[in-house]
Every structure is written in structure tokens, then in C-alpha cells.
Amino acid sequence: MALSGGVDSAVSAYLLKKQGYAVHAVFMKNFTGTHDNLAGECNWVRERDDAARVARHLKIPFAVWDFEKQYQRFVIDYFFHEYKRGRTPNPDVRCNQYVKIPLFLIRALKEGADFIATGHYAGKSHPTGNHPQGEKNNLWQLLSGTDDKKDQSYFLYTLTQLQLKHLLFPVGEMTKPEVRKLAKRLKLPVAEKPDSQGICFVGEVKIFDFLRTRLPEKPGDLIDTRGRVVGQHRGLWFYTIGQREGLGLSNGPWYVLGRNWRANQLIIGHKNEQRLIMAKSCITSKPHWINKPVKLPAVLLVRHRYRHPAFAAAIKKSGDGLKINFREPQRAITPGQSAVLYKKNKTGLVVLGGAVIDKVEKTKFSW
């Protein structure tokens, strides 16, 4: 059990033990609070200690596994590289793809485990039935979590069949209030611990402060949609499309609408000008399919950012990637984020796969 120090994984460990599994808790030490960790030098220590307290409470073995070098390479370095390119990466997707799931699973299997488990709000199923060719479908499916407000399937679209085979989501069919209620009844040490809102394994650090540890400030003009200078920005790579916080201007709220890299200008506008960051289409990188590749063209549900609703879109091939045409204009489609593809089933959504957004097609300000 990947025990993070939070309430979701703590309840997950309890549920597995109750179901009869021989549960071994593992805390992953991925980011130990070097000078980059502006959330505090001992953030990871506090999380480890909370996880250890939960393991003692549940009377299960506890260990710490170190994946810090791999996390630095695949998540942190990538994070800064993408922001420097003017993109907005999702570190949670990247972490699950290269560290939290694959490295954890490989070591767990070597140590004799049958399964690994996480506290993600997601589910899986193993449907049976017939393909048009008559072959049985023995492939696993990734499902959305029961709690729409906490569904984390968006972060897991890079899962493989082998990983799904060995992966359990004990709280996937619960809601967050149910998890909290159970944790309090069990008197778990983290029952009332707030949810983490920060970067995966780094902590609750402001993105600007974290980026500034490696990326230099490069001030330039803040201009409105009429081209008037209304202030100064601190470097174009510190901002993302649709951003509202951190602009330091009065008479707001103001929103980031676009960038002019050549002139080093950040374009901003008021709420009634957000139509300028609406777009209907985007181009992605090569997609990853969890099950069999979907026959294209097709109309699917697409979520282009975590916690955004999934909207219908026409999908077709575009080179090695995908061309996604939404039926309705979408706000702030952002290069570097992931477009995750779904279809409906009887109880919720099935994750088909996804890809990183490379280009947004819109007529106004560039991003």
C-alpha cells in the first residue's frame, strides 16, 4: 500500500486489511526538501511520520522506499523544462507515468507482492464480451471514481494493462465525506488532516516561488487588449493562460489572455474579455491507449484539465497525434496539460487514454 501520510491512503490500507489482504505499507521518498522545497525543509519528514503513525495504528509493517533520483529526472527536471518552453505541465500525470506507479510496482513484485494499491479516487473493471471479430476482451478498463468532485482518473490515463492488473483502488467507490467519516470512526491519526493542494510529493509551494529557484526573472510589459501598458510582469514563463492570481494590479480581476514572446509582453484582460481565450480545437502528441486503440475518427468525451467537465469532441488522427475538435468552445486549453479521453458506461466514465496537448488553435492571442 502506497501510504502517503494522507487520509485517503490511510483508509485504503484499513479497507485492504479488513478484506483479508496481508498489507505492507510503503512511503515513497521522492522529494526530500532541498533548497527547491519552499514549502519547508521537513515537508517530506512530516508526511513520512504521519504515514508511520497510520501504519502503527493499523498494526501493519512500514517501510520507506527511495525514488528521489528518478523523481528528479522524470518529474522535476521535466517540470522546469516545460515551463521554460512556455508550457504548463501536469506533474501528477508525469509522476504516475514514470515513478509512483511503475517503479513502485516493479519493486513490489520483486519483493513478493501480488498487488499494489493507492488512495486514488478511481476504479477498474475486467469486462467480458465479444469483439466484432469474435475474440474475447480480456483487457482491463480504468474507471472514473464514484465521487465526481474527487475523481482522479485524469491523472492515470498512462496506465498499462500490466499495471492495472496489479493495481487496487480501495476508496475508488467511496466519496470523500465517506472516507473522512470512516477515518474519524477508526480514530486514524490523519482523520482530519487537510488535503494536499501542492505539487505531487513537493508540497504546498507557490508555483511562482518554485519556478524562480531555476528560472530567472525577465521583466516586461503587461498590456491590455487595446495595447496599453498597465503594469509589469516578471517573466513570461511564470504565467499560464487564464491565470488570475499574481498579477499585482488594481481594478481587477484581471486574467492572462496571451503572450507576445518577441516583445516580451503579457496580454491581460477583464472577465468580460475571457472569450478571447476560448478555443474549439487542439493538436496533441502521440496518444496512449489503456485498452485497444480507439478506431478513429470518433466522437468521445474529453477533459482537457483536471476537474474540468468532460465535453464531447470529434477526434481524428493528426500525424502521430490527435486533432480534437470540441463541439463547444473551451476555456483556456493549455499546451503541456493532458487531453484525457472517456466514454460513458452504466455507472460513470471509462478512461480510454489520452495525450499531452501540443498546440491550441484559436484566432486571437497566441499561447
Q: What are phi and psi of 361, to 5 degrees?
A: -100, 110
Output 204-213 pairs: Cβ under 8 A, ≥24 positions apart: 204/39, 205/37, 205/38, 205/39, 206/38, 207/238, 208/234, 208/238, 208/246, 209/38, 210/36, 210/38, 211/80, 211/83, 211/237, 211/238, 212/238, 213/35, 213/36, 213/38
Q: Which of 95, 322, 333, 360 is catalytic?
A: 95
- Per the annotation, the verdict on 95 as an active-site residue is yes
- Among 355, 353, 367, residue whose Cα is nearest residue 294: 353
Q: Which of 76, 117, 200, 207 is catalytic?
A: 200
CA 49, 52, 53, 54 dihedral sign is positive
- Among 222, 231, 123, residue whose Cα is nearest residue 168: 123
- Per the annotation, the verdict on 200 as an active-site residue is yes
Residues 6+ apart with CB under 8 A from 157: 93, 142, 288, 290, 338, 340, 341, 351, 353, 354
Which grid coordinates are listed for 259? 503572450
- Among 364, 363, 281, residue whose Cα is nearest residue 322: 281
| Active-site residue list | 95, 200
